[in-house]
Structure 1
Amino acid sequence: MRISTRSIVLFGIVLGVLQFPIYVRSFGHRSPIFPEGEFVTPESVNQALNRLLTDKTIPTLQELEAMALQQSPLLVQSASRVEEAQGELRQSRYYPNPRIGYLGDDIRNQQSLEGSKHGIFFEQDILLGGKVGAQRDVAELALLEAQAENDIQIFRVRNAVRLLYFQALAAELLVELKESFLVIISEANSAVEQLHANGSVNLPGRVSANLAKLQSESDLALAVNHRDQARQMLASAIGVMAVPAGRFQESLQFPGSDIDFEEVWQTLLLESPEIKKARTSLERAESIISLERKRRIPNLSIRLGIQHYQEQLPNVSIPSGLQASAEISAEIPIFDRNQGNISSARAAVEIAQAELDQITLSLRERLVTAYNKYKNTSSITRKYENQLHSETQEYCERYLKGGAELIPAYPLIITTQQNCLQIKINYISALSSMWHELLAIRGLLITSGQATVIKSY
């Protein structure tokens, strides 16, 4: 078969065009570290980190979150997976490279080239059935899945910092409360010692005062240990050695607004990165089925060559010269029709659908648990808050301030002071528990399991 030299040149141009990416689709990508709406700049994060390490001052909660997002190994891994998926998406858009080679035929000896053929060939595989577009669709969904996983890690790190921050804040408040109580108990105990020396207080009264002071010192020691533990866990979450001693810039107050269960549930269905990832995984599994079905369609293999023919033709005094050749071939899908891969892809779709259903049920279950705990702790917190503003609290304050002057009724005073203290401790514990559940709900129920509810030590 003879093909003109012009046809060979045109084929070379077509091969060059095929090397450019095809099916290009614009694809936006968010920052792998900072989510949308985050206004903390890397410069401000570095400044906050310097203040934390040098000035020993506690940054704001927003700055601590940004520090954790900047230094978390989890986000380094998830961001790298996003970059990996971006590379796979870019690679999926390219057409197969052509092949070029040497042709030699009828090479008889080294002394003479007469009768031999020498030339070059170009070979190109033509993908049929929309395989390139299907590969691109799978890669794009894989990128979306990697981005959803990255969002999960962002929420996990941020929520851990928030939960641990408010846990440390509540622990700090308990320490301050028990320090104040120890001062009152110590003053009363000193007065009892003086009265016991002059015979105004008997031995059981003196022993009772000493035991009350010992109990207060033990309670304070436990509260200090718990505060130090909370600070160490917070430091670990943000990637520093320790959180310096000092006051936190936020306050532990009763939140002003309430939450509605169904509204939160609908928000979770729309915004939860766990559900987004599961849905994307299902879509990717379905697109893989489409890709595997398209792979049943055979590809074309086109081969064009040009040779210089040295053999002289009969009755012609010159060699035959250039000769062109062309081959077109395709695989016949008789035995292998990609049946196994298609069946495997169908099973993967069923697995992905079950995973989506499982995540949805698990999310609903977690929301029910967190919401009920929030409602219970919210109700308890309101009762304690009302108690702290009642006449009973005024009576407690009067006893706390006048403990040394009311020594004759010392046992009653100690009991009253302990009850008043317990009300405040229970209030802080309930408020901490309520914030724990509220932050978990606001954080789309993505937690690392590090933060625990503050206990009434």
Structure 2
Amino acid sequence: MNRMLAAASAAAMVPIYGSPATAQVSTPATPRVGSPTTPEPAGPPAPTRQADLPLLVPREGALPASLSLQQALEEAEARSPAIVAARAAVEAAEARVRQAGFRSNPELSVEVENFAGTGELSVLRRTESTVALNQRLDLGGRRQARVGVARAELAATELRLSIARADLARQVREQFARGVAARERLRLAEENEVRARDLARVAGVLVDAGREPPLRALRARSAAAQARAELETARADEQASRATLSSLFGVSTPVETLSGPLLDLEPSMIDPEQSLEVRLAEVEQLGAEAALRQETTARNLDPAVGVGVRHVRETGDVALVGGISMPLPVFDRNQGNVAAARANVRAAEARRAAALATITVRARNAIANVEAAEARVEALERAALPEAAEALRLAQVSYREGRASLLELLDVQTAYTAAQNALTEARLALALATAELGRVAAR
């Protein structure tokens, strides 16, 4: 895996980890909304609901007794309240797109003239009744601009759903790795407690036989007590890690056991410009541009036309009436809103540049962290831990044969335990770095 991003281009392809099913969250292509060349739709736009979205009801019931990483990712996707809320936000945005496509409702007006007056107008025989239907034409691109803003918001909401899913996947991977590491620490603590207890027993026998001074037995009993305390701490940490993992699913009961490998991602390539954060910034920029078009079109004339029927009671005659009205932009030409929308476009452009710089640095740092963690795991697995295990075996043989003291055996045993814990921490660091790399890869 390459260590450096291609510095010559901000859009350089970066080798990182990704998974088609989990790390790379599928989202629609970034739309170009509100384009002046787009023909105005004749009716409300069709919903753009993603076909793969499940029902907005989280999964209920107990978790599986044994949970693998893939199962944890799937359960989190199906149960997480945050994902349900994000999907509901997408549905709301789709509804706003449909609403933006509707034309203004016509207005029905009824007007009665020449009644309850004086003289000849005091009676109802000279009343004139008019029933009219008025319709605002919604000209000047108002409806198209309104739909463009709604579509941009829908695209942004869909990307926020993808970001929520990617963040949840990273959290599950990280907490699953912490749970497995806590389980491994518990196993090591149990083994260390057994060794310390056995060593304390042997030391007591040797002291009674006069082969070791009483101080050696005291030291061994102290080490055994410390090992028991560390074992209790490891048990509490292991249970807490499983409970924290369950909380990501919206479940309060801890997962019983964790199984399977820590890593589920494979090497892949990513263009930083196609990351979720950069795409969201681009869509927000498109939304700002669409809002600018909407504020600009609001300055155009928006006439309303009406047609109706008038009835003259005195003669019994019926006639058609018609009219047109429009506001005159004499004082308010929407200058302030247009200036504010232009400023929002500039701000969106700046946020997009900042997002690209941030995601590029995140990718570079994540790659470096993964490579460092891989090297550390390899070094511990190939050399440090086997050598520590062999040293412990030789020290135990020497101690039984009387060629090594209890203090020497305790030191070697401590070094072996430290090497085991270092390998556990290195594997955890690799899993955490890989989870971050998978989050950067999500697109």
Q: Tell me the distance in 2 between the aligned counterparts of 1:437 and 1:33.
A: 30
Per the alignment, residue 395 of structure 1 pairs with 390
Per the alignment, residue 452 of structure 1 pairs with none
Do structure 1's residue 249 and structure 2's residue 255 form an aligned pair? no
Residues 435-454 of structure 1: matches in 2 within 5 Å? Answer: 435-444=431-440
1:183 aligned partner, one-letter code: V
Does the 8 Å CA contact 1:184/1:403 hold for their aligned counterparts? no
Does the 8 Å CA contact 1:186/1:213 hold for their aligned counterparts? yes
Percent of counterpart pairs with the same letter? 19
Q: Could you list the per-position Cα deviations for residues 125-167 of structure 1 after superposition, in whole angstroms to 9, with x for gaps in the alignment? A: 1111121111111111111111111111111222211110111
Do structure 1's residue 137 and structure 2's residue 148 form an aligned pair? yes
Per the alignment, residue 62 of structure 2 pairs with 50
Does the 8 Å CA contact 1:103/1:119 hold for their aligned counterparts? yes
The 3 A distance-change label for structure 1 pair 82 and 341 is same
1:21 Cα shift? 6.1
Q: Tell me the distance in 2 between the aligned counterparts of 1:22 and 1:359.
A: 37
Per the alignment, residue 199 of structure 2 pairs with 188
Do structure 1's residue 152 and structure 2's residue 163 form an aligned pair? yes
The 3 A distance-change label for structure 1 pair 440 and 411 is same
Q: Could you list the per-position Cα deviations for residues 278-300 of structure 1 after superposition, in whole angstroms to 9, with x for gaps in the alignment? A: 11111000011111111111111
Q: Could you list the per-position Cα deviations for residues 318-371 of structure 1 after superposition, in whole angstroms to 9, with x for gaps in the alignment? A: x26111111122222222221111111011111212222222222233333333
Do structure 1's residue 385 and structure 2's residue 385 form an aligned pair? no
Q: Tell me the distance in 1 between the aligned counterparts of 2:403 and 2:237.
A: 36
Does the 8 Å CA contact 1:33/1:75 hold for their aligned counterparts? no
Does the 8 Å CA contact 2:265/2:438 hold for their aligned counterparts? no
SS at match of 1:307: strand
Q: Aligned match of 2:303 in 300, 304, 321?
A: 300
1:384 Cα shift? 0.6
Residues 247-396 of structure 1: matches in 2 within 5 Å? Answer: 248-252=258-262, 263-264=269-270, 266=271, 268-270=272-274, 272-311=275-314, 319=315, 321-387=317-383, 390=386, 392-393=387-388, 395-396=390-391
SS at match of 1:436: helix
1:252 Cα shift? 4.3
1:72 aligned partner, one-letter code: S
Per the alignment, residue 13 of structure 1 pairs with none
Does the 8 Å CA contact 2:196/2:227 hold for their aligned counterparts? yes
The 3 A distance-change label for structure 1 pair 281 and 197 is same
2:440 aligned partner, one-letter code: L
Q: Could you list the per-position Cα deviations for residues 392-416 of structure 1 after superposition, in whole angstroms to 9, with x for gaps in the alignment? A: 2562463487587346523222222
The 3 A distance-change label for structure 1 pair 400 and 356 is farther
1:438 Cα shift? 0.6
Q: Tell me the distance in 1 between the aligned counterparts of 2:265 and 2:402.
A: 42
Give the TM-score of the pair, scaled to structure 1: 0.79
Unaligned stretches of 5+ residues in structure 1: 1-19, 35-40, 312-318, 447-457
Deviates more, 1:210-219 or 1:166-175: 210-219
Unaligned stretches of 5+ residues in structure 2: 1-40
Do structure 1's residue 105 and structure 2's residue 113 form an aligned pair? yes
Per the alignment, residue 37 of structure 1 pairs with none
**Root mean square deviation, CA, Å:** 2.9
1:107 aligned partner, one-letter code: F
Per the alignment, residue 229 of structure 2 pairs with 218
Q: Tell me the distance in 1 between the aligned counterparts of 2:265 and 2:68.
A: 21
Q: Aligned match of 2:86 in 78, 86, 96?
A: 78
1:205 Cα shift? 2.1
SS at match of 2:329: coil
Q: Tell me the distance in 2 between the aligned counterparts of 1:147 and 1:380.
A: 39
SS at match of 1:90: helix
Q: Could you list the per-position Cα deviations for residues 403-435 of structure 1 after superposition, in whole angstroms to 9, with x for gaps in the alignment? A: 873465232222222212211211110111011
Q: Give aligned pairs, total.
A: 398
Per the alignment, residue 6 of structure 2 pairs with none
Give the TM-score of the pair, scaled to structure 2: 0.81
The 3 A distance-change label for structure 1 pair 403 and 340 is farther
The 3 A distance-change label for structure 1 pair 221 and 389 is closer
Q: Tell me the distance in 1 between the aligned counterparts of 2:232 and 2:225.
A: 11
Per the alignment, residue 59 of structure 1 pairs with 67
1:210 Cα shift? 2.0
More helix by share: 1
The 3 A distance-change label for structure 1 pair 372 and 445 is same
Does the 8 Å CA contact 2:45/2:98 hold for their aligned counterparts? no
1:33 Cα shift? 6.0
1:251 aligned partner, one-letter code: P
